[in-house]
Amino acid sequence: MQNIYNLTRKQLQEYFVSHQDKKFRGDQVFEWLYRKRVSSFQEMTNLKKEVIADLEENFTMKTVEITKIEKDIDVQKYLFRLIDGEKVEAVLMNHDYGNSVCISTEVGCNMGCKFCESGRLKKVRNLETHEMVEQILEIEKENQVRISHVVVMGIGEPFDNYDNLISFIEIVNDDLGIALGSRHITVSTCGIVPKIQEFQELPYQVNLAISLHAPNNEIRNQIMPINKKYPIEVLMETLKAYIKKTNRRVTFEYILLDGINDRKQDAQALADLVRGMNCYINLIPYNETNNISLKRSKKETIFAFYDILKKNKINATIRKEFGSKISAACGQLRSKKEENDGIILHN
């Protein structure tokens, strides 16, 4: 049985038209789901009884369940159990500009980045669209707040689940849906070049973030296997074309790892790499985990790296740290839960 949160408004309209009903019926149902946030079809009081009966026969509703919450100042981390028992995470961050949620797109991840906790367990499956949407709905319900920004940067590589990701964007961007502006939605990818090229053709003005984490192929090959398929020079040419096509700024995420990618020459190489591009660098202090031997850069190293970028007139920030007292690294809460449940993780 199909989960109704999988459907965009257009798909709901098409469903009713194909069932000899009016197109606007899809708008009515969509509005009940996202504006009025009903928990059953019976609450859709302006629908005929036979329409409600048809919905109950052909669709189900929520299947994502919050099983654990960890809290720190300005941040809450959620562990969700899916209908098949698999688990994913999402994070709520309270900023001065609003409430931001970072969601997952896959159970596990096949990208194999050496610093990433979520990638230690290989990809089990894609999340369906509704499983992405419901992360937002459940967090809003739990906190009685509205989410103002969404970052698709949790467990999984979003462009490895491309079709469901695009349906998710369409739903959260829809005026009758969660109604987030395109510029309040950010998608992060480790650099799947063909999907970046496909993404630039869409009408959405969604922000694109690139998990770069190295200034050259030598370092990136060591920590990010994707670079062997799409090396930095190919990725950068693709991004220059993306910027020209969309006129949108690209964010480069750069986790600073002690002794790996944080030397002064690395900062200079990064400045040379992005010079002239409409971009900014988001420097990220690494969240260490018990399962990965990599260490975060020292505070003075981080600031020295930042200073070199600024001296080169590169737009850069050092990301505010969230969740220092909780399982901050992406995938860490899930990993801890599975270890406690006796599940053996892959190395």
The residues annotated as belonging to the active site are 89, 330
- Dihedral, CA atoms, 346, 132, 126, 162, nearest 10 degrees? -120
- State both tokens at 51: 């329409």
In whole angstroms, what is the distance from residue 67 CA to residue 142 CA? 12
> d(Cα 255, Cα 215) in Å, to the nearest integer?
12
Is residue 343 within 8 Å of residue 334, measured between CB atoms?
A: no
Distance CA 304, CA 294 (A): 20
250-256 and 279-285 beta bridge pairing: parallel
Quick one: tokens of 115? 């610093």
Please answer whether residues 210 and 234 qualify as being in contact, where contact means their C-beta atoms are separated by less than 8 angstroms: no
309: nearest Cα among 289, 341, 279, 344: 279
